[in-house]
Amino acid sequence: MSIMTQAELEELVNQLSLSFFNKPFVDDVAFNFRLRTTGGRYIPNQRKIELNPKYLDELDYDEFCGIIKHELCHYHLHIEGKGYNHRDKDFRELLRKTGSPRFCSPLPSMEKQVKYQYKCLDCGHVYHRVRIVNTQKYRCGKCRGKLKKIKP
């Protein structure tokens, strides 16, 4: 799908806001072409939602709508004065209630950049990294086990 216009984007966000939250979206939304590792972000002091257009191009429309719903959860909770951060109970409940994803899928173009793989010697979890990890300094984030490079 090609990039949509600003008016189409605003209409889509307002439509999703009305259908899932029963509240209008009255602030700013825009594409941010500089976002690299995230599908979108909500800026509380500007009351603005920025979305990564690569997710519309590389993944399906439903994934993009899920990202918008996730950012709308931040937005509406912030407006209401409730906890709008990822760790807050209000935020997690609203995500579940609206069927919004907690995290977005990685972009297919970013997955190709993986150069190094590390495996935990205790639990077997595999980590994919773009940069070299110092295995003497860093441990497994799940079980604190030692890491071993399996793919140079």
Confirm whether 81 is domain-assigned: yes
- What CA–CA distance (Å, rounded) separates 67 from 35? 13
Note whether 29 and 52 are same-domain residues. yes
Confirm whether 64 is domain-assigned: yes
Confirm whether 130 is domain-assigned: yes
Confirm whether 1 is domain-assigned: no
Residue 2 pLDDT greater than 60, yes or no? no
23 phi-psi bin (left φ>0, alpha ψ -120 to 50, beta other) = beta
Residue 1 pLDDT greater than 60, yes or no? no
- Show Cβ contacts of residue 151 under 8 Å, excluding neighbours closer than 6 positions: 116, 117
Task: Label residue 47 by pLDDT band (50, 70, 90).
Answer: very high
pLDDT of residue 93: 95
Note whether 62 and 129 are same-domain residues. no
Note whether 15 and 39 are same-domain residues. yes
Q: How far apart are the first and last CA of the chain?
A: 36
Note whether 32 and 86 are same-domain residues. yes
Task: Label residue 128 by pLDDT band (50, 70, 90).
Answer: confident
Residue 41 pLDDT greater than 90, yes or no? yes
Residue 146 pLDDT greater than 70, yes or no? yes
Catalytic residue status for 111: no
Note whether 100 and 35 are same-domain residues. yes
Note whether 24 and 75 are same-domain residues. yes
What's the angle, vertex CA 83, arms to CA 78 and CA 85, rounded to 5? 90
Task: Label residue 4 by pLDDT band (50, 70, 90).
Answer: confident
Catalytic hit among 10, 11, 58, 71: 71
Note whether 30 and 82 are same-domain residues. yes
Note whether 80 and 136 are same-domain residues. no
- Residue 122: domain span: 114-151
Residue 73 pLDDT greater than 80, yes or no? yes
Q: Kindly report the CATH number assigned to the domain that includes residue 35.
A: 3.30.2010.10
- What CA–CA distance (Å, rounded) separates 50 from 48? 7
pTM of the model: 0.75
The total number of structural domains in the chain stands at 2
